[in-house]
Structure 1
Amino acid sequence: MAETGDNSKTALVQELNGLLADHFALYIKTKNFHWHVAGPRFRDLHLLFDEHAIEIRDQIDVIGERVRKNAADTLTSLGSVVQATQVKDQDDTLLSAEKMVEELRDDNAALVKRLKGMKELAEKAGDNATDGLLDDWTDQAEERVWFLTQTLQ
């Protein structure tokens, strides 16, 4: 049985809100690591984490506005972010620089997977604008994964 347009849009909005939550959580984690990274690669990682945090932050409003343009409600609180995100908290301020890089790489790779899974939802919902944005967001997340992976070499 094919999904109706309303069901397709509902599924897309739910994933957009999950994506929004992931971006909020990943932004906070990336800034946490930016502030707490230490060791011989401090400067390079401090700057890299900040660049990544800014890129992630800049996508938050666009994602939220896609939800609203689909006539739905966005996340409303930190509690709603916590309930919807797939990004795991990390409160250890003494985490090694390598572990920070690995965690951010893995979180961004999971984000890529989520983004790619959303393409079909956007198509089914007939949301061409979201479909196009997903390509850009996927490219940016893939680049973060690449940079973080290369940092571990």
Structure 2
Amino acid sequence: MTSKDNSKAALIDSLNGLLADSFALYLKTKNFHWHVRGPQFHDLHLLFDTHATEVFAMTDLVAERVRKLGGKTMTSIGSIAARTTIADEDDTSLDAMAMVRQLFEDNTAFVGTLKAIKELAGEAGDNATDGMIDDWTDQTEQRAWFLREILA
């Protein structure tokens, strides 16, 4: 295997990790959308839904990028669970600010993942993935910013 082949394989693997994280972040954000309560219910309910929609929109783009590069994608809930770095949250009684804090931390970590993948895309000479990562990073940084400002 050449260095270029190794770079491409590493990029495909990291994109599959991103796909797993995208699905997990989507579900966690939707979970909080469904279970948020308290004085900021209306605003957070709508914000979480907007964020979930944005994250879900990424999933198909990430999966199609993997396929365009010649790789195979996640195939099941089990394969997603095995790869994600986003921690599950099954406690439906969390207060709203605990939800906001978790999503802030998850989105901040997601930015780090995106930046690492951007480096791999550069090593693989994949300009298309590199450009897409810029858009996804900007979206994720905006989500983290909104959440951070709620916590201030």
Question: Under TM normalisation by the shorter chain, which class is it?
Answer: over 0.9
Match of 1:50 in 2: 49
Residues 1:10 and 2:9 aligned together: yes
Alpha-carbon separation, structure 2, partners of 1:47 and 1:14: 33
Residues 1:59 and 2:36 aligned together: no
Alpha-carbon separation, structure 1, partners of 2:55 and 2:95: 22
Alpha-carbon separation, structure 2, partners of 1:114 and 1:52: 18
The alpha carbon displacement at 1:149 in A equals 0.3
Aligned length, in residue pairs: 151
Match of 1:151 in 2: 150
Q: Deviations over 1:98-146 (max 9, x none)?
A: 0000000000000000001111100111111000000000000000000
Structure 2: which amino acid aligns with 1:50?
A: D
Q: How does 1:1-150 map to 2 (within 5 A)?
A: 4-150=3-149
- Kindly report structure 1 stretches of 4+ aligned residues shifted beyond 2 Å: none
Alpha-carbon separation, structure 2, partners of 1:67 and 1:78: 18
Taking structure 2 as the reference length, the TM-score comes to 0.98
Structure 1: which amino acid aligns with 2:115?
A: K
Give the 3-state SS of the residue equivalent to 1:72 in structure 2. Answer: coil
Q: Deviations over 1:1-57 (max 9, x none)?
A: xx7011000100010000000000000000000000000000000000000000000
Runs (5+) with no aligned partner, structure 2: none
Taking structure 1 as the reference length, the TM-score comes to 0.97
